[in-house]
Chain A
Amino acid sequence: MQTREIIKTAIEEIQANNGRTGAITDGSQIVRDLGFTSLDVAELVAVLEMELEVDPFSNGVSLMDVRTYGEFCAVYENARLKQA
Protein backbone atom coordinates (compact mmCIF):
# COMPACT_ATOMS: atom_id res chain seq x y z
CA MET A 1 0.00 0.00 0.00
CA GLN A 2 1.29 3.45 -0.85
CA THR A 3 2.05 6.04 1.81
CA ARG A 4 -0.98 8.20 0.94
CA GLU A 5 -3.36 5.25 1.17
CA ILE A 6 -1.93 4.15 4.53
CA ILE A 7 -2.37 7.66 5.93
CA LYS A 8 -5.90 7.91 4.57
CA THR A 9 -6.85 4.54 6.06
CA ALA A 10 -5.41 5.55 9.43
CA ILE A 11 -7.38 8.82 9.39
CA GLU A 12 -10.58 6.99 8.44
CA GLU A 13 -10.11 4.47 11.28
CA ILE A 14 -9.71 7.24 13.86
CA GLN A 15 -12.70 9.08 12.38
CA ALA A 16 -14.78 5.92 12.59
CA ASN A 17 -13.74 5.29 16.21
CA ASN A 18 -14.91 8.80 17.03
CA GLY A 19 -18.19 8.32 15.17
CA ARG A 20 -17.29 10.78 12.44
CA THR A 21 -17.25 10.59 8.66
CA GLY A 22 -16.22 13.02 5.99
CA ALA A 23 -14.51 13.11 2.63
CA ILE A 24 -10.73 13.40 2.77
CA THR A 25 -9.08 15.56 0.13
CA ASP A 26 -5.59 17.03 -0.11
CA GLY A 27 -6.94 20.30 1.27
CA SER A 28 -8.80 18.77 4.21
CA GLN A 29 -7.53 20.26 7.46
CA ILE A 30 -7.02 17.44 9.97
CA VAL A 31 -8.32 19.42 12.95
CA ARG A 32 -10.77 21.92 11.46
CA ASP A 33 -12.35 19.79 8.71
CA LEU A 34 -11.90 16.21 9.98
CA GLY A 35 -12.61 16.99 13.64
CA PHE A 36 -9.38 15.62 15.11
CA THR A 37 -8.44 16.59 18.67
CA SER A 38 -4.77 17.00 19.61
CA LEU A 39 -4.95 13.49 21.13
CA ASP A 40 -6.37 12.12 17.87
CA VAL A 41 -3.43 13.68 16.00
CA ALA A 42 -1.04 12.05 18.49
CA GLU A 43 -2.77 8.71 17.90
CA LEU A 44 -2.47 9.21 14.13
CA VAL A 45 1.27 9.86 14.44
CA ALA A 46 1.60 6.76 16.67
CA VAL A 47 -0.29 4.58 14.20
CA LEU A 48 1.74 5.88 11.26
CA GLU A 49 5.00 5.25 13.12
CA MET A 50 4.02 1.59 13.36
CA GLU A 51 2.70 1.33 9.81
CA LEU A 52 5.42 3.32 8.05
CA GLU A 53 8.26 2.82 10.57
CA VAL A 54 9.08 6.51 10.57
CA ASP A 55 8.16 9.49 12.75
CA PRO A 56 9.05 12.75 10.99
CA PHE A 57 7.91 14.76 14.01
CA SER A 58 10.66 13.34 16.22
CA ASN A 59 13.21 14.31 13.60
CA GLY A 60 12.85 18.05 13.20
CA VAL A 61 9.48 18.51 11.47
CA SER A 62 7.06 20.68 13.46
CA LEU A 63 3.52 19.41 13.81
CA MET A 64 2.41 23.06 13.83
CA ASP A 65 3.43 23.38 10.17
CA VAL A 66 1.33 20.43 8.99
CA ARG A 67 -2.39 21.08 8.82
CA THR A 68 -3.88 19.33 5.82
CA TYR A 69 -4.04 15.73 4.63
CA GLY A 70 -1.92 16.69 1.63
CA GLU A 71 0.76 18.25 3.85
CA PHE A 72 0.74 15.16 6.10
CA CYS A 73 1.30 12.94 3.05
CA ALA A 74 4.15 15.13 1.77
CA VAL A 75 5.93 15.06 5.15
CA TYR A 76 5.71 11.26 5.41
CA GLU A 77 6.69 10.71 1.77
CA ASN A 78 9.78 12.88 2.30
CA ALA A 79 10.64 11.08 5.52
CA ARG A 80 10.38 7.67 3.84
CA LEU A 81 12.54 8.86 0.95
CA LYS A 82 15.21 10.02 3.41
CA GLN A 83 14.98 6.70 5.22
CA ALA A 84 15.36 4.63 2.04
Chain B
Amino acid sequence: MNERVVIVSGGSRGLGQGIVEALIARGDRVATFSRTRTAFVDGLIERCPERFYWAAVDASDGAQLKAFVTDVYRRFGGIHGLVNNAGVSADQLIAMTTDEEIDRLLDVNLKSVLRLTRDVSRVMMRQKHGSIVTISSIIGTRGFKGAAVYAATKAALDGMTRSVARELGPKAIRVNSIAPGFLETDMTAGIPEAQRAQILRRTPLGRFGGVAEVAALVLFLLGDEAAFITGQTITADGGLTC
Protein backbone atom coordinates (compact mmCIF):
# COMPACT_ATOMS: atom_id res chain seq x y z
CA MET B 1 0.00 0.00 0.00
CA ASN B 2 1.25 3.43 -0.95
CA GLU B 3 1.36 5.31 2.36
CA ARG B 4 0.74 9.01 1.84
CA VAL B 5 0.81 12.03 4.10
CA VAL B 6 -2.43 13.98 3.91
CA ILE B 7 -3.41 17.18 5.68
CA VAL B 8 -7.14 17.56 6.38
CA SER B 9 -8.28 20.90 7.72
CA GLY B 10 -11.08 20.69 10.27
CA GLY B 11 -10.84 16.93 10.71
CA SER B 12 -12.18 16.65 14.24
CA ARG B 13 -15.88 16.26 13.41
CA GLY B 14 -18.51 16.14 10.68
CA LEU B 15 -17.33 15.58 7.13
CA GLY B 16 -13.70 16.18 8.13
CA GLN B 17 -13.92 13.35 10.65
CA GLY B 18 -15.28 11.04 7.96
CA ILE B 19 -12.44 11.96 5.61
CA VAL B 20 -9.83 11.37 8.32
CA GLU B 21 -11.38 7.98 9.16
CA ALA B 22 -11.31 6.92 5.50
CA LEU B 23 -7.67 7.97 5.06
CA ILE B 24 -6.58 6.20 8.24
CA ALA B 25 -8.45 3.08 7.14
CA ARG B 26 -6.56 3.22 3.82
CA GLY B 27 -3.26 3.26 5.72
CA ASP B 28 -2.31 6.89 5.15
CA ARG B 29 -0.62 9.19 7.62
CA VAL B 30 -3.00 12.02 8.45
CA ALA B 31 -2.48 15.42 10.01
CA THR B 32 -5.43 17.55 10.96
CA PHE B 33 -6.22 20.59 13.02
CA SER B 34 -9.21 22.21 14.60
CA ARG B 35 -9.80 24.80 17.26
CA THR B 36 -10.84 22.26 19.86
CA ARG B 37 -10.00 18.64 20.55
CA THR B 38 -12.82 16.12 20.33
CA ALA B 39 -13.36 12.57 21.58
CA PHE B 40 -12.73 11.38 18.01
CA VAL B 41 -9.30 13.06 18.03
CA ASP B 42 -8.47 11.58 21.45
CA GLY B 43 -9.37 8.11 20.19
CA LEU B 44 -7.17 8.32 17.09
CA ILE B 45 -4.21 9.73 19.00
CA GLU B 46 -4.44 6.68 21.28
CA ARG B 47 -5.10 4.18 18.48
CA CYS B 48 -2.72 5.45 15.76
CA PRO B 49 -0.04 7.64 17.35
CA GLU B 50 2.40 6.96 14.50
CA ARG B 51 -0.01 7.79 11.71
CA PHE B 52 -2.21 10.51 13.15
CA TYR B 53 -1.29 14.02 14.20
CA TRP B 54 -3.60 16.72 15.54
CA ALA B 55 -2.88 20.28 16.59
CA ALA B 56 -5.01 23.09 17.96
CA VAL B 57 -5.03 25.70 15.20
CA ASP B 58 -7.30 28.67 14.61
CA ALA B 59 -7.82 28.55 10.83
CA SER B 60 -8.20 32.31 10.68
CA ASP B 61 -4.62 32.78 11.95
CA GLY B 62 -2.17 32.62 9.01
CA ALA B 63 0.91 32.24 11.23
CA GLN B 64 -0.62 29.22 12.99
CA LEU B 65 -1.48 27.63 9.65
CA LYS B 66 2.04 28.09 8.31
CA ALA B 67 3.58 26.69 11.50
CA PHE B 68 1.27 23.65 11.24
CA VAL B 69 2.36 22.93 7.65
CA THR B 70 6.04 23.23 8.60
CA ASP B 71 5.46 20.98 11.60
CA VAL B 72 3.73 18.30 9.49
CA TYR B 73 6.48 18.41 6.85
CA ARG B 74 9.21 17.94 9.46
CA ARG B 75 7.27 15.26 11.32
CA PHE B 76 6.36 13.10 8.30
CA GLY B 77 8.98 14.16 5.71
CA GLY B 78 6.52 15.21 3.00
CA ILE B 79 2.96 16.23 2.20
CA HIS B 80 1.24 14.36 -0.62
CA GLY B 81 -2.34 15.46 -0.20
CA LEU B 82 -4.28 18.41 1.15
CA VAL B 83 -8.00 18.36 1.87
CA ASN B 84 -9.38 21.86 2.44
CA ASN B 85 -12.39 20.90 4.51
CA ALA B 86 -12.66 23.37 7.38
CA GLY B 87 -15.57 25.70 7.06
CA VAL B 88 -18.34 27.44 8.90
CA SER B 89 -21.87 28.21 7.78
CA ALA B 90 -24.36 30.91 8.57
CA ASP B 91 -28.08 31.17 7.93
CA GLN B 92 -28.77 34.86 7.60
CA LEU B 93 -30.46 37.09 5.04
CA ILE B 94 -27.91 39.38 3.41
CA ALA B 95 -29.86 42.43 4.60
CA MET B 96 -29.33 41.33 8.20
CA THR B 97 -25.73 40.14 7.97
CA THR B 98 -23.24 41.94 10.19
CA ASP B 99 -19.70 42.95 9.23
CA GLU B 100 -18.41 40.53 11.86
CA GLU B 101 -20.31 37.63 10.29
CA ILE B 102 -19.02 38.48 6.80
CA ASP B 103 -15.45 38.67 8.12
CA ARG B 104 -15.79 35.38 10.04
CA LEU B 105 -16.95 33.43 7.01
CA LEU B 106 -14.38 35.00 4.68
CA ASP B 107 -11.59 34.33 7.20
CA VAL B 108 -12.40 30.65 7.78
CA ASN B 109 -13.97 29.55 4.49
CA LEU B 110 -11.84 31.50 2.04
CA LYS B 111 -8.71 33.20 3.39
CA SER B 112 -7.59 30.19 5.41
CA VAL B 113 -7.98 27.95 2.34
CA LEU B 114 -5.93 30.31 0.18
CA ARG B 115 -3.19 30.47 2.83
CA LEU B 116 -3.13 26.74 3.51
CA THR B 117 -3.09 25.96 -0.22
CA ARG B 118 -0.22 28.41 -0.72
CA ASP B 119 1.84 26.97 2.12
CA VAL B 120 1.26 23.33 1.13
CA SER B 121 1.82 24.05 -2.58
CA ARG B 122 5.32 25.19 -1.72
CA VAL B 123 6.09 21.77 -0.27
CA MET B 124 4.42 19.99 -3.17
CA MET B 125 6.31 22.04 -5.78
CA ARG B 126 9.54 20.79 -4.32
CA GLN B 127 8.26 17.18 -4.32
CA LYS B 128 6.97 17.53 -7.91
CA HIS B 129 3.71 15.83 -7.07
CA GLY B 130 0.63 16.27 -4.94
CA SER B 131 -3.13 16.45 -4.95
CA ILE B 132 -5.29 19.16 -3.44
CA VAL B 133 -9.01 18.62 -2.86
CA THR B 134 -11.19 21.46 -1.63
CA ILE B 135 -14.67 20.99 -0.23
CA SER B 136 -16.92 23.62 -1.76
CA SER B 137 -20.70 23.25 -2.02
CA ILE B 138 -23.59 23.21 -4.45
CA ILE B 139 -24.54 26.42 -2.66
CA GLY B 140 -21.64 28.02 -4.54
CA THR B 141 -23.31 27.36 -7.87
CA ARG B 142 -27.04 27.51 -7.07
CA GLY B 143 -28.93 30.12 -5.10
CA PHE B 144 -30.12 29.38 -1.58
CA LYS B 145 -31.95 31.88 0.62
CA GLY B 146 -29.98 32.87 3.70
CA ALA B 147 -26.65 31.66 2.34
CA ALA B 148 -25.24 34.68 0.48
CA VAL B 149 -21.92 34.95 2.31
CA TYR B 150 -21.43 31.19 2.54
CA ALA B 151 -22.25 30.90 -1.18
CA ALA B 152 -19.76 33.65 -2.03
CA THR B 153 -16.97 31.84 -0.21
CA LYS B 154 -17.78 28.46 -1.77
CA ALA B 155 -18.03 29.87 -5.31
CA ALA B 156 -14.66 31.53 -4.70
CA LEU B 157 -13.15 28.16 -3.78
CA ASP B 158 -14.20 26.68 -7.12
CA GLY B 159 -12.60 29.66 -8.86
CA MET B 160 -9.43 29.18 -6.85
CA THR B 161 -9.41 25.50 -7.78
CA ARG B 162 -9.40 26.19 -11.53
CA SER B 163 -6.68 28.85 -11.36
CA VAL B 164 -4.38 26.92 -9.02
CA ALA B 165 -4.81 23.83 -11.21
CA ARG B 166 -3.47 25.82 -14.15
CA GLU B 167 -0.58 27.18 -12.08
CA LEU B 168 0.54 23.91 -10.54
CA GLY B 169 -0.21 21.44 -13.33
CA PRO B 170 3.32 21.73 -14.76
CA LYS B 171 4.68 20.54 -11.39
CA ALA B 172 2.39 17.45 -11.46
CA ILE B 173 0.15 18.81 -8.72
CA ARG B 174 -3.57 18.25 -9.26
CA VAL B 175 -6.20 20.55 -7.82
CA ASN B 176 -9.91 19.73 -7.67
CA SER B 177 -12.95 20.58 -5.61
CA ILE B 178 -16.00 18.65 -4.47
CA ALA B 179 -19.39 20.30 -4.27
CA PRO B 180 -21.49 18.22 -1.91
CA GLY B 181 -25.19 18.66 -1.64
CA PHE B 182 -26.94 18.28 1.70
CA LEU B 183 -25.24 15.73 3.95
CA GLU B 184 -26.31 14.22 7.26
CA THR B 185 -23.97 16.29 9.44
CA ASP B 186 -24.17 18.68 12.37
CA MET B 187 -24.11 21.52 9.84
CA THR B 188 -27.45 20.46 8.33
CA ALA B 189 -29.04 19.22 11.55
CA GLY B 190 -30.61 22.62 12.15
CA ILE B 191 -32.46 22.81 8.83
CA PRO B 192 -36.18 23.28 9.59
CA GLU B 193 -38.36 20.25 8.84
CA ALA B 194 -40.35 21.98 6.08
CA GLN B 195 -37.18 23.03 4.26
CA ARG B 196 -35.74 19.55 4.73
CA ALA B 197 -38.83 18.01 3.15
CA GLN B 198 -38.57 20.43 0.22
CA ILE B 199 -34.90 19.52 -0.37
CA LEU B 200 -35.77 15.82 -0.31
CA ARG B 201 -38.62 16.34 -2.81
CA ARG B 202 -36.21 18.05 -5.21
CA THR B 203 -33.48 15.40 -4.82
CA PRO B 204 -33.85 12.54 -7.33
CA LEU B 205 -32.23 10.06 -4.95
CA GLY B 206 -34.66 11.21 -2.24
CA ARG B 207 -32.22 11.45 0.67
CA PHE B 208 -29.40 13.46 2.20
CA GLY B 209 -25.90 12.22 1.44
CA GLY B 210 -23.68 10.32 3.81
CA VAL B 211 -20.30 11.57 4.99
CA ALA B 212 -18.68 8.31 3.85
CA GLU B 213 -19.94 8.89 0.31
CA VAL B 214 -18.14 12.22 0.04
CA ALA B 215 -15.06 10.83 1.80
CA ALA B 216 -14.87 8.12 -0.87
CA LEU B 217 -14.84 10.82 -3.55
CA VAL B 218 -12.06 12.67 -1.69
CA LEU B 219 -9.96 9.49 -1.65
CA PHE B 220 -10.58 8.98 -5.36
CA LEU B 221 -9.43 12.52 -6.24
CA LEU B 222 -6.37 12.24 -3.99
CA GLY B 223 -5.33 8.95 -5.58
CA ASP B 224 -3.70 7.84 -8.79
CA GLU B 225 -7.07 6.68 -10.10
CA ALA B 226 -7.73 10.38 -10.75
CA ALA B 227 -4.28 11.05 -12.23
CA PHE B 228 -5.71 12.81 -15.31
CA ILE B 229 -8.28 14.93 -13.47
CA THR B 230 -7.44 18.49 -12.44
CA GLY B 231 -9.18 21.84 -12.27
CA GLN B 232 -12.59 20.23 -11.87
CA THR B 233 -15.47 20.60 -9.45
CA ILE B 234 -17.23 17.28 -8.89
CA THR B 235 -20.79 17.50 -7.60
CA ALA B 236 -22.14 14.87 -5.18
CA ASP B 237 -25.69 15.88 -4.35
CA GLY B 238 -28.04 13.00 -5.12
CA GLY B 239 -29.03 14.82 -8.28
CA LEU B 240 -30.40 17.95 -6.57
CA THR B 241 -28.80 20.29 -9.11
CA CYS B 242 -29.25 18.17 -12.23
Contact = CB atoms under 8 A, between A and B. Distances in A.
Nearest to B74: A50
B125 A42 contact: yes
B126 A43 contact: yes
A46 interface: yes
B204 interface: no
Contacts of B125: 39, 42-43, 46
Main secondary structure on A side of the interface with B: helix
B126 A47 contact: yes
Contacts, number: 24
B118 to A, nearest CB: 10
Contact of A49 (B122, B128, B168, B170): B122
A45 B170 CA distance: 17
Nearest to B73: A50
B123 A46 contact: yes
Contacts of A25: none
Contacts of A46: 121-123, 125-126
Contacts of B121: 46
A30 B171 CA distance: 19
Contacts of A50: 73, 122-123, 126
A11 B179 CA distance: 39
B184 interface: no
A83 interface: no
A59 interface: no
7 contacts: A39-B125, A39-B167, A39-B171, A46-B121, A46-B122, A46-B123, A46-B125
Interface of A: 17, 37, 39, 42-43, 45-47, 49-50
Interface of B: 73, 121-123, 125-126, 128, 167-168, 170-171
Q: For the complex of A and B, list the 7 residue pairs with the smallest distance between their C-beta atoms, beginning with the closest.
A: A46-B122, A43-B125, A46-B125, A47-B126, A46-B126, A39-B170, A49-B122
